[in-house]
Amino acid sequence: MHRRRFLSLVPALVAVAPRLRAQPAAQAGRQTVAVVPLGAFPPALIAEIDAGLRAELGVAVVVQGAQALPPAAFYPPRRRYRAERLLDFLRTVMAPPATRVLGVTEVDISTTAHGVRDWGLLGLGDLGGTACVISTFRCRMNAPSEAQVHFRMVTTCIHEIGHTLGLEHCPDTSCLMTDARGTVRTVDRTTGHLCPRCRSRVGLAPRP
C-alpha cells in the first residue's frame, strides 16, 4: 500500500503525494516509540527527544541500541543518505513493544522531491505509517545557539511522529504541525507544542 510521505524540508515542508481524504488519527497515548540512533549521536540530545515525546504526545518511549548507517542508503554523488531507504531499514530493526520507530542521525539526508533527484531535508515520515527519520544536519543551519538546534530537533521529531499518527499539516502557524513554508526558521516560530485541534485528533486532553 502506498503511503504518503511527509518531508521536513529545507527549503520547504510539503507532502509529496496527492492530497487524499484525511484518515482517522491514531491515539497517541497507546503508542510506543522506539528511538534508534543511526551512527554516532549525542546521548544528551536523545534524552531530550525522549522527554519531549513523552511530555507532548503521552507516548511510551524505548531507546534502542545504535545502528550503523546502512550502506544501501548511501548516495555517493552527494555523500548523503537517502531518507526513504533509511525508513525501510528502520522498519526492519523496530522491535516490540514499539509501534512507531524514529531514526535520529547527524548525517545529511535527502530524497527525491520537486523534480530534484537529491533534495536535502530535515526529516521524512510516513503519514499513518510506522517509520520516520530526522537529521540534525539542517537543524544546525544558521542556528544562533546549541539550545536552538535542540529545540528544532525535538520539535521536528514530535512533528514527524505526529505524521505517523495521522496528523497532516496544521494551518495554525504556532502549532508544531505547521508547514515550514520555505524555511527551517518556521520551526523556531512555533510554540513547540500541538494546538488544541491537533491534540484532540490524537486523543490528548487540552493543555492545562
Q: Which residues are catalytic?
A: 160
Only one residue has cell 499513518, namely 128
Q: Hey, what's the cell of 136? A: 540534525
Residues 83 and 134: their CA atoms lie apart, in Å, by: 9
DSSP state of 98: -
Q: How far is CA 156 from the centre of its chain?
A: 5
DSSP state of 174: T
Residues 9 and 25: their CA atoms lie apart, in Å, by: 23
Q: Hey, what's the cell of 78? A: 552527494
DSSP state of 30: G
> What three-state secondary structure class fits 14?
strand
Q: Hey, what's the cell of 37? A: 540512533
Residues 113 and 197: their CA atoms lie apart, in Å, by: 29
Residues 145 and 87: their CA atoms lie apart, in Å, by: 29
Q: Hey, what's the cell of 126? A: 510516513
